[in-house]
Structure 1
Amino acid sequence: MSPGRRPERDLDLTRLGSALLAGAAWMLFGAATHAHVSSLVHWRTILVAILSLTALRIVPVALSLAGSGLRRPTVLFVGWFGPRGLPSVVFALIASEELARHPGARTSSPRSQRRSCSASSPTD
């Protein structure tokens, strides 16, 4: 390697080129499958999929937080922005490992957690 060259700069062109090619591949894939998929999928299916990924997700979160003492804006915030699917499991495993690693660590009670969450959320 010559004295004035930086390896990370040499990789910039490679990274940009691979990102461009990946984008082009996905664009070609979408163009190729659009005609086939659009004939199989109805507008109602798309509507249910979009609602499931957005608004319908809030309902089970609200049910699971019922009785927690959290206010409605807090529940809506958690339902909308909370982890989805596999990240929920991963976050639970990380928390479990951290709690097991520090057995003497002081944890807050559910009552103090409710107060801190309620205090940080906007008012109704």
Structure 2
Amino acid sequence: MLIKLNWITLRVSNLEASLGFYHDILGLPIQRRFESRGRQIAMLGMENEAKLELIEGSESILKQEAGVSIGYEVNSLDEAMERLAQLNIPIVRGPIQPNPHLRFIYITDPDGFEVQLAEHV
């Protein structure tokens, strides 16, 4: 059996705030937006890669305390940290370098989900 990650779903409290974070700040392309059963939904990510599905909802939102985090690779962690500083986005952990080939930081999205930005050096 061949299995491939298709998408990860986050239920968010405010879709526009989340799009501001994932699209405007992190630069993920919006592949499509639509409504389903009264919920606003957006799919973000690069073509031919796993997507991030954001569903706006009023039900209880799963927060980072539950151990959920999303990781993205960046070309330059230093450039990413500089951009985050310009946008007043705090780094909640890091930079961490567990080995000579990997560095990463953690930030949080508007709903408190942890987002890891990693650079393989």
Which one has the bigger strand percentage? Answer: 2
Q: Normalising to structure 2: TM-score of the pair?
A: 0.23
Structure 1-normalised TM-score? Answer: 0.22
| More RCO (CA 8 Å, sep 6+) | 1
Q: Which has the larger radius of gyration?
A: 1
